[in-house]
Structure 1
């Protein structure tokens, strides 16, 4: 498994910057932090891990886990992060996909959850309006009690 500094080196290569200072600016890190990360004096913090992951197009938790493995003094905690990192491929990948899908689908706006009259005002048919509640499709026809304008 890669160490956190290997992810950093890979990101620097991908950025193609001529100097560490330019790369640090691109990654929104201080040049001092970049130097400390590269020469092994420091281990990347979570922000640096996320910035590196974005450049590489990988799950940020993968880089964060690598940094925590590098940082931990306790063997038990290093094993925890190593196990966590192994599980990232399947379980968290599916959870991440579900999160993105729930954000993209969202919920209906109040205007579309209104009465047939409101739907008609938004461009619905004056004769026939459809209301969708969750996955149940309900058709509403105007009658003497519901007047469409």
Structure 2
């Protein structure tokens, strides 16, 4: 999933008719949404948090996605991809009752 997909998911979840309405919901200027969509700008961690809260998902998922897109080298991209994968596995195991904190 890309950050643009998360923006679209917020629009869909809240039945927002436009990027203007999305910008208003997220508390940013409409130009920011346009910049995110065109790739001129990548969401920062605070925007990732706002998006995650709107979607009721774990913020690390959106933050990692943004950092993958922001990465300047393949090594950075790989590190963030690894973080996201490890977190997904750990979170899934926690939900299923596996791991060191399981009763």
Match of 1:79 in 2: 78
Alpha-carbon offset, residue 19 of structure 1 = 2.1
In structure 1, distance between residues paired with 2:33 and 2:18:
11
Larger RCO: 1 or 2 (CA < 8 Å, sep 6+)? 2
Match of 2:87 in 1: 88
Paired residue total: 94
Gaps of 5+ in 1: 96-149
Bigger CA radius of gyration: 1
Match of 2:29 in 1: 30
In structure 2, distance between residues paired with 1:66 and 1:77:
12
Deviations 1:107-138 (A, max 9, x none): xxxxxxxxxxxxxxxxxxxxxxxxxxxxxxxx
Give the aligned CA root-mean-square deviation in angstroms.
Answer: 1.8
Structure with the bigger percentage of strand: 1
Written as runs of structure 1 = structure 2, the 5 A alignment for 1:1-149 is 2-91=1-90
Gaps of 5+ in 2: 95-103
In structure 2, distance between residues paired with 1:65 and 1:9:
18
Judge conservation of contact 1:5–1:40 (CA < 8 Å) in 2: no
SS at match of 2:72: coil
Runs of 4 or more, structure 1, over 4 Å off, are: 92-95
Alpha-carbon offset, residue 39 of structure 1 = 2.2
Deviations 1:11-50 (A, max 9, x none): 1221211221121111112211111112222111111111
In structure 1, distance between residues paired with 2:22 and 2:75:
34
